[in-house]
Amino acid sequence: MPKGFFTQGVAILLSRSVSIRSIEAALNERFSTDHIKENAEQWVFSGPSLLIRHRPEVDGVITVDIVDRRWPDDMGDPAVDATLFGAWTMGFFGPYTYPGNLERSAQQAWGYPEGRQAVEEHTAFIRIRSTYTYGAANDETPVLPADYDAFAELMEVTAIAQALLRLPEALCYFNPNGECLASGARIQELFERFEQSQLPPLELWSNVRLFNLPQEENWLLIDTVGMLQLDADDHEAVFDRRSHDPNEVANFLRNVSDYVYKNGPVIQDGDTINGPGSIDWQAFSLEEGLGNPPRSVLRWFPLDGNELPSGLNPNN
């Protein structure tokens, strides 16, 4: 599902619903809001909402709306709830959102385990979505401006989320595309790190997940999810847990994610990088990874002499 009407999308999980006027008050200290709508007919497309101008020279806006119900993690069914299903397929819950994003975010909340309780307790959510086609006069309006900057856009959307986390009803930040949860304090910490070291706050946009591989008892999969928000591929690594520390592999994937984001798709099939265990790890580009959501990935495996389980070696 490519970027369409909405180019980024994050959410705030709430203990209970709030008014759009409360949202306006929480934002107005840092952002200029307008075009407030206190009522909405179909929540799947928009609840009560407001706009924040983002790059007005290219008609960029960020919409903020409140939905008085739990996050619809199944994203509907064409036979049972065609309206919800249609809204999901058109990207109204954010680009690259996929059924089960919230459930997997809670299961893989390594960096913010408190988020698991927030997922259980939430009864409403705020959507924060960026677009360049709001109120477009015709179908020829470009979805993305020629000088589109995904990083700057994500920083702005996340800053808005940070401001809304000050609401008493706010439980946590949720990035469905990157399947990650965070607190306001965590956002502030990673923003400050970026200011000091220019290290992008990828942890707010992309989770690193751990799975057991059913093919072999001792083999693990660690992957990233969410890098498509930055127009870069995700990564996955398959390895024998008896030979490599999963924490070191997770750090390796963070580092190569940052490298590929900054340098573009420079890693070719068969290229190697020195990685965990002080050995070379080899990469192959695949159209689809091993885990949901469906997406292209760079698969890494260690050249440590261990034979990969059947079906996992791209060389075969």
pLDDT of amino acid 216: 77
Cα–Cα distance, 31 to 249 (Å, whole number): 39
Cα distances (Å, whole numbers) of residue 77 to 37, 72, 82: 29, 11, 6
pLDDT of amino acid 2: 63
Per-residue pLDDT of 219-268, as tens digits, reads 999 999 999 999 999 999 999 999 999 999 999 999 999 999 999 999 99
167 and 264 together in one domain: no
pLDDT of amino acid 291: 93
For residue 76, what are the domain limits? 8-197
Last residue within a domain, chosen from 175, 197, 219? 197
pLDDT of amino acid 4: 76
Per-residue pLDDT of 171-198, as tens digits, reads 999 999 999 999 999 999 999 999 999 9
pLDDT of amino acid 5: 87
88 and 147 together in one domain: yes
141 and 233 together in one domain: no
Report the first-to-last Cα separation within the chain, whole angstroms.
29
262 and 170 together in one domain: no
18 and 88 together in one domain: yes
Residue 2, domain member (yes or no)? no
pTM, entire model:
0.94
Last residue within a domain, chosen from 179, 197, 215? 197
Residue 308, domain member (yes or no)? no
- Mean pLDDT across 143-160: 94
161 and 27 together in one domain: yes
Residue 310, domain member (yes or no)? no
Percent of the chain at pLDDT > 90 equals 85
Asked if pLDDT for residue 311 goes beyond 90, the answer is: no
Last residue within a domain, chosen from 145, 171, 197? 197
pLDDT of amino acid 310: 77
240 and 101 together in one domain: no
41 and 156 together in one domain: yes
225 and 158 together in one domain: no
Per-residue pLDDT of 77-114, as tens digits, reads 999 899 999 999 999 999 999 999 999 999 999 989 99
pLDDT of amino acid 135: 66
Residue 13, domain member (yes or no)? yes
Confidence of residue 316 (pLDDT cuts 50, 70, 90): low
Residue 218, domain member (yes or no)? yes
Residue 54, domain member (yes or no)? yes
Asked if pLDDT for residue 314 goes beyond 80, the answer is: no
157 and 214 together in one domain: no
User: Into how many domains does the chain fold?
Assistant: 2
pLDDT of amino acid 164: 98
pLDDT of amino acid 307: 86
pLDDT of amino acid 14: 98
Per-residue pLDDT of 198-221, as tens digits, reads 999 999 999 999 999 887 788 999
Contact (Cβ atoms closer than 8 angstroms) between residue 306 and residue 110? no
- Burial call 148-161: b when 16+ CB within 10 Å, e when fewer: bebeebbbbbbbbb
pLDDT of amino acid 137: 47
Residue 309, domain member (yes or no)? no
190 and 273 together in one domain: no
184 and 210 together in one domain: no
Contact (Cβ atoms closer than 8 angstroms) between residue 271 and residue 280? no
Per-residue pLDDT of 25-81, as tens digits, reads 999 989 999 999 999 989 999 999 999 999 989 999 999 999 999 999 999 999 989
Contact (Cβ atoms closer than 8 angstroms) between residue 278 and residue 257? no
pLDDT of amino acid 251: 96
Least-confidence region, from 45-54, 129-138, 301-310: 129-138
Q: At a CB cut-off of 8 Å and minimum separation 6, what does 256 contact?
A: 235, 267, 273, 298, 300
Residue 143, domain member (yes or no)? yes
